[in-house]
Amino acid sequence: MPEEATASAAPIVHALGATHPLALAPVTAPPASVDGFVREFLHNLNFELGVSLSASSVNDRYLALAQTVRDYLMARWLDDQRRLSEIKPKTVCYLSAEYLLGRQLDNNLLAARLTDVATEALAACGVSLEELREIEVEPGLGNGGLGRLAACFIDSLATMSVPSIGYGIRYEYGIFRQTFVDGQQVEQPDSWLRLGSPWEFPHPEAAQTISFGGHTEKYVDDDGVERSRWIPGWNVLAVPYNYMVPGYHNGRVNTLRLWRAVATSSFDLRVFNSGDYEEAVRAQTYAENISKVLYPEDSTPQGKELRLQQQYFFVAASISDFLENVLGDGVELEKLPSRVIFQLNDTHPVIAVPELMRVLLDERRLDWDDAWAITQQCFAYTCHTLLPEALEVWSVDLLGRLLPRHLEIIYRINEEFLEAVRERFGDDEMRIRNMSIIGEHPYRSVRMAYLATVAGAKVNGVAELHSQLLRDKVLPDFDEFYPGKFTNVTNGVTPRRFIRLANPDLASLITEALGAGWTIDLERLRGLEAYAEDPEFRAKFAAVKASNKRRLSDVLHVRDGFDVSEDHMLDVMVKRLHEYKRQMLKVLHIVTEYEGIASGRVAASAVQPRTFVFGAKAAPGYIMAKRIIHLINAVGKVVNEDPRVEGRLKVLFPPNYNVTLAERLIPAADLSEQISLAGKEASGTGNMKFALNGALTVGTDDGANVEIRQLVGDDNFFLFGMTEPEVEALWAKGYRPADFYQQDDDLRRAIDLIASGAFSDGDRSVFEPIVSNLLYDDRFMVLADYSSYIAAQAQVDAAYADQDAWTRSAILNIARCGFFSSDRSMRDYIDRIWHTPPVL
């Protein structure tokens, strides 16, 4: 799409919406000429990388290009920092242990409106932009939905000119690289920094010292007040690495600041000289381990000491950075809440609460009540889960050892909180036990979600249903105690990355129909409703989908040797592997289809040709999830190779699903699988990305699926399965999965086929644990929803047979899902939680 399409000189309505007083942002002029870009590029290649064009490698050229893009953004970045330090606006500090950024080059070119200039300039140098794009290794500094959400949010905040800083950890190794050996997951380290990252700006001179361990002592200060102080046992340095977060076409550049752990002293020369080399570097290695690797556990906290170290390390550095470097001198701490809101992305950064208290009490000498009043206004907490096992707790033992002063503070917060609960509800010991921040069983521990709820000015869930269940089921006592504290902000995704960049042909088609403003005002997609009725537009849309399938096929061919046929329905399930997400249900559907053909009961020619695509990483220690990956690969092998299938069913499982692959898969998909057990998926964000790219959803009434279905309408969504109350009712009455197995012939045949060893060379033991898990311990009720899922899939097949009607539904999905822009999510946070107006 030519850049001119959005480069009009007139002001365009800002993402805040036309009614907002600050909505009109001037659009800055396109900055670069082709000649100028060529000069900059060659200069960087020669003088920064020290190579000539003819001698340069693809990586050299990529680095030089990235530096050129950086240079164009630099003046704005510096200017924004200067302006904000003068204006001193209220700033959002987004505290997140994960940012799943995806590739940077294309995004930054787009934001700076440099794509066309760069393409031409490189062509003039005989270099293909496409080739340079492909060499970038994405920073995989997150596990899944929560990390990707943080990346979408900082993109929206920059695009909406909201003063904000993203704070996190610069993991040296991100989420592992997944490979398959004999169909089983094998993890490789993700050395994303091996060839250097051109997007980061380290500032070792601005390192913060972060302390751990030791003990506390009581003393009486000069005013006769009894105080505590922390005598730490050891320190590490937190070195900030800054990353540009450019807004889309608004000339704005925000900052993402990730911290790297570095030892305070590099090694012990005395010990080294004595010949004990390992001992000499031991302390250094220990300290630097803190930012070494992202924990790959998603939803199951392990309670590991290193993880608590990571959490405290980055929030302590971030708070200190904000107070010392961003806030500026002479600010009365009472005014802190008018200058900052720390948003807690799940419980991972919650140790920031006692840390801010410690700073205010011990370093700034405030008294308890003042410090607590300030702290309670400076934090807000987002919960991203409903699984009880995912609610983080830290043993008092560990916390007291690593952060003794913080434990004291937590105890005092709890004491005063429970006192207030008693005042309100009387000596209801049961309730007190249930609400205590300190749990006693199975061991004494700090419940981080409770601490966040007590300290946070607001607590939000991430979709309507999730927020409701959070209040009713997870934290009902807190909801009663704090009326008005709980709220909902439904998640969203950035249309820049997930439509404009990932699906350029669709973006052009939309711009052709609606003009350019939709990228920052996604509700304008409504305008496509009329086009859904236009046969010519439908034909164009279908052509885009087909071309996206070809593009995907090219990528998968090179990457994994897979081919995707344009005539197949593309049925995609991509997300972390977890039992609650129910990849097993998808497997049972595939096995059912296959078994029908293999047994001769169904003619292959009668089957709608479908390619099933999976993308999923399993936490390395999650054995059942890994078995399911093995099974998917095993089923795929048999189905793909059985001649009786006549190639009409195909199962593809490209390894190492990541943001980059998502950007190729989602635009090509016809069908989006969102099939979690109702009440388990907090929101989902993949569901939104698919719908916005014109895939229809087959899904349960769970997470944001509920809102997607309400918006797109029942005719354009394949709903199946129990509702959350039905799930509860079935549990209450006693769920017996084996009964479903006995009563449903298709289900029995599918499970029997897996049990028979048909997918494991006759070895019945390989998948036996999966089979018995389903039959006797089906925690996520796969069998209970099976028949309804199969029926929904029959409807999918029937609907797909009418291609034109399908296309109409796909367009209506896009038209009606503008709500799921992360710009809207940010507007909700700003209006209801942060109260941080944009600064234009």
| Contacts to ligand 26W by CB under 6 A | 144-146, 149, 297-301, 346, 384-385, 390, 462, 491, 681-685, 703
Q: Which residue is nearest to ligand 26W (CB)?
A: 145
Query: Using CA atoms, how far apart are residues 386 and 449, in angstroms rounded to an integer?
Result: 11
Q: Identify whether 442 is preceded by a cis peptide bond (ω within 30 of 0).
A: yes
Nearer to ligand 26W, 353 or 390 (CB): 390
Selected catalytic residue, list 581, 617, 648, 709: 581
Residue with Cβ nearer ligand 26W (52 or 300): 300
Report the SS3 class of residue 216.
strand
Nearest approach, Cβ of residue 675 and ligand 26W (Å):
13
- Using CA atoms, how far apart are residues 575 and 684, in angstroms rounded to an integer? 9
d(CA 390, CA 393): 9
Q: How far is the CB of 715 from ligand 26W (least distance, A)?
A: 25
Q: Residue 677's closest CA among 780, 788, 574, 573?
A: 780
- CA-based angle 553:557:562, to the nearest 5? 85
**Between residues 250 and 345, which has the closer beta carbon with respect to ligand 26W?**
345
Q: Least distance from C-beta 683 to ligand 26W, angstroms?
A: 4
Smallest separation, CB 47 to ligand 26W (Å): 43
Going through 247-392 in order, the beta strands assigned E by DSSP cover 253-263, 340-345, 379-382
CA separation for the pair 435, 143 (Å, rounded): 30
Q: Which is nearer to ligand 26W, 60 or 98 (CB)?
A: 98
Break the chain down into helix, strand, coil percent, rounded to 5. 55, 15, 30
From the candidates 339, 586, 689, 709, which is the catalytic residue?
689
Residue 394 CB, nearest distance to ligand 26W (Å)?
Answer: 12
Tell me the closest approach of the beta carbon of residue 684 to ligand 26W, in angstroms.
Answer: 5
b/e map of 762-772 (b: 16 or more CB within 10 Å)? eeeebbeebbe
Nearest distance from residue 717's CB to ligand 26W, in Å?
18
Concerning whether 264 is annotated as a catalytic residue, the answer is no
Of 60 and 346, CB closest to ligand 26W: 346
Cβ proximity to ligand 26W: between 390 and 435 the closer is: 390
Q: Which two tokens stand for residue 586?
A: 């998808």
Active-site residue flag, 28: no
Specify the residue, 395 or 640, whose C-beta has the smaller distance to ligand 26W.
395
Structure tokens given for 567: 């005539």
Cβ proximity to ligand 26W, 346 vs 707, nearer residue: 346
For the question of residue 575 being annotated catalytic, the response is yes
Q: Greatest CA span in the chain, whole angstroms?
A: 90
**Catalytic residue status for 549:** no
Distance CA 189, CA 176 (A): 5
Query: Which of 384, 406, 524, 626 is the catalytic position?
Result: 384
- Rounded CA-CA distance 202/562 in Å is 40
The least distance separating ligand 26W from the CB of residue 99, rounded to whole angstroms, comes to: 12
Residue 352 or 811: the one with the smaller Cβ distance to ligand 26W is: 352
Q: Please say which residue, 385 or 793, places its beta carbon nearer to ligand 26W.
A: 385
Q: How far apart are CA 272 and CA 537, in angstroms?
A: 73
Based on the residue annotation, tell me whether 218 is a catalytic residue of this protein: no
Q: Say which of 255, 490, 685, 836 is annotated catalytic.
A: 685
What crossing angle do the helices spanning 803-816 and 782-801 adopt, rounded to 10°?
110
Cα–Cα distance between 219 and 715 in angstroms, integer?
70
How far is residue 394's CA from residue 304's CA, in Å, rounded to a whole number? 9
CB 105 within 8 A of CB 501: no
Gap between the Cα atoms of 703 and 694, Å rounded: 19
Q: Which is nearer to ligand 26W, 103 or 384 (CB)?
A: 384
For 709-777, the DSSP string reads HHHH-GGGSEE-S--HHHHHHHHHH---HHHHHHH-HHHHHHHHHHHTTTTTTT-TTTTHHHHHHHHH-
> Does an H or E element contain 202, and which?
strand 200-202
Answer for the pair 150, 143: CB distance below 8 angstroms, yes or no: no
Instruction: Give min distance, CB of 673 to ligand 26W, in A.
Output: 14
Q: Which of 343, 353, 338, 383 is nearest to 478 (CA)?
A: 383
Q: Whole-number minimum distance, CB 25 to ligand 26W, in Å?
A: 28
Query: H or E element: which one contains 306?
Result: helix 305-321
CB of 395 to ligand 26W, least distance (A): 15
Task: Identify the active-site residue in 358, 540, 576, 816.
Answer: 576
Residue among 733, 771, 768, 727 nearest 751 (CA): 771
Query: Active-site residue among 575, 586, 648, 650?
Result: 575
581 is a catalytic site residue: yes
DSSP class of residue 470 equals I
- Give me the active site residues, please: 384, 575-576, 581, 685, 689
